[in-house]
Amino acid sequence: MRNTITVVLADDHRIFRKGLKSLLSDKAHIEVLAEADNGDEALKKVGQHKPHLVIMDIGMPKMDGIEATRQIKERFPKTEVVILSMHAKKAYIDQVLKAGAKGYVLKDSDEDNLIAAINTVHNGGYYLDSPIADQVLSGYFGGKTKRELQEQADPLSEREKEVLRLLAEGHSNQEVADILCISRKTVENHRANIVRKTGVQGQVGLTKYAARIGLIDLDLWE
């Protein structure tokens, strides 16, 4: 069973916020702990509830989402921030990323993108909505293409992920070969490629990497 992701919502538009709460509350693995209608209140709610994530608007009274993000990351570094905003300008995106946000989703985006952002950021990754990802990442990473960036962030093939998941669960090379109906030599080759691409070695390293990219839940294997 997937662990519950706890969330605080910060947006000064009450009707939008209530709709967002309803949408997230339909997801079994997400729990909305509190709501805030400005950045200052968001900071207080985070201090009170210690959520995994804050879903944060940018344009809010008293304290905007950029400053609220900065202060949340300074005071409560274990709480991550996903920006949900109507602003698609790179200047806003740059500021919130520098403030410590790890996700940025546009308000007119599909709801699946927001759920993907929540899951990705909770699992330790970054998520940028596709309309803005190319321009932002090209600036940060020296003009690399979207495909190059995806390969850099997620270097393993689907088959290598299957092998990694099984190895991380404690199966031997021969057991992995039997499960996937491939030869032991092929498993050994996949394992060598995983080590080469990720730089991790040994059972502990492979298990931790598999957990970090969401292939296994460490809580279930402890």
| Domains of the chain, earliest start first | 5-147 (3.40.50.2300), 154-220 (1.10.10.10)
Q: For residue range 126-157, what is the model confidence (pLDDT) as tens digits?
A: 888 877 676 665 555 555 544 554 445 567 88
Q: What is the DSSP letter of 61?
A: S
Strands ordered across the beta sheet of 5-10: 30-36, 5-10, 53-56, 80-85, 103-106, 127-128
The torsion angles phi and psi of 132, rounded to 5 degrees, stand at -115, -10
Contact 68, 43 (CB under 8 A): yes
Residues 6+ apart with CB under 8 A from 28: 2
| Beta strand 5-10 pairing with 30-36 | parallel
pLDDT tens track of the chain, all 222 residues?
A: 358 999 999 999 999 999 999 999 888 899 999 999 999 999 999 999 999 999 999 988 888 999 999 999 999 999 999 999 988 877 788 888 889 999 999 998 888 889 999 999 999 888 888 776 766 655 555 555 445 544 455 678 888 888 988 998 888 999 999 999 999 999 999 999 888 887 777 888 888 888 877 777 655 444
Residues 6+ apart with CB under 8 A from 158: none
C-alpha angle 161-29-19 in degrees, rounded to nearest 5? 125
Is the pTM for the entire model greater than 0.75? Answer: no
Q: For residue range 176-189, what is the model confidence (pLDDT) as tens digits?
A: 999 999 999 999 99
Closest to 12 (Cα-Cα) out of 46, 42, 50: 42
